Amino acid sequence: MYLTKLCISRTRGSGLSSSFHKLVMWGFPRTDGLNPRQKWGVLHRVDGRFLLVQSQIEPVFPALLETQTKVYSPVLELGRSYRFRLAINPVKQFKGRRSPVDPVTWLESRDLGAKLEVCNLVSTTAIEKSRRGGRVASFPLVVATLDGVLECTDPARLKECIVNGVGRGRAYGCGLLSVVRV
Q: What is the pLDDT of residues 9-64, one digit of tens each?
A: 654 444 556 577 777 887 887 877 778 878 888 999 988 888 899 999 999 888 77
Residues 85 and 67 in one domain: no
Residues 56 and 93 in one domain: no
Q: Which of 87, 80, 104 is nearest to 155 (CA)?
A: 80
- Convert the pLDDT of each residue in 42-51 to its tens digit: 999 988 888 8
Percent of the chain topping pLDDT 90: 41
Residues 145 and 174 in one domain: yes
Residue 157 has pLDDT above 50, yes or no: yes
Domain that holds residue 6: 2-71
The total domain count for the chain is: 2
In the sheet that 114-132 helps form, which strands lie side by side, from edge to edge? 114-132, 135-152, 81-88, 177-181
CA 21 to chain centre: 11
Flag whether 104 is in a domain: yes
Residue 127 near residue 140, CB atoms below 8 Å: yes
Q: Could you tell me the pTM of the whole model? A: 0.81
Flag whether 20 is in a domain: yes
Q: Which of 72, 67, 51, 61 is nearest to 2 (CA)?
A: 72
Residues 142 and 55 in one domain: no
d(CA 117, CA 16): 30
What's the mean pLDDT when you consider all of the chain? 84
Residues 17 and 104 in one domain: no
Percent of the chain topping pLDDT 70: 87
Residues 108 and 176 in one domain: yes
Task: Give the pLDDT mean for 92-118.
Answer: 88
pLDDT of residue 129: 59
Residues 109 and 144 in one domain: yes
Top-ranked range on mean pLDDT: pick from 28-37, 84-93, 117-126, 150-159: 150-159
Residues in CB range of 3: below 8 A, 6 or more apart:
52, 53, 54, 69, 70, 71, 72
Top-ranked range on mean pLDDT: pick from 16-25, 34-43, 106-115, 156-165: 156-165
Residue 160 near residue 6, CB atoms below 8 Å: no
Flag whether 97 is in a domain: yes
Residues 176 and 111 in one domain: yes
Residues 39 and 11 in one domain: yes
pLDDT of residue 12: 46
Flag whether 76 is in a domain: no
Residue 80 has pLDDT above 70, yes or no: yes
Task: Give the pLDDT mean for 105-134.
Answer: 80
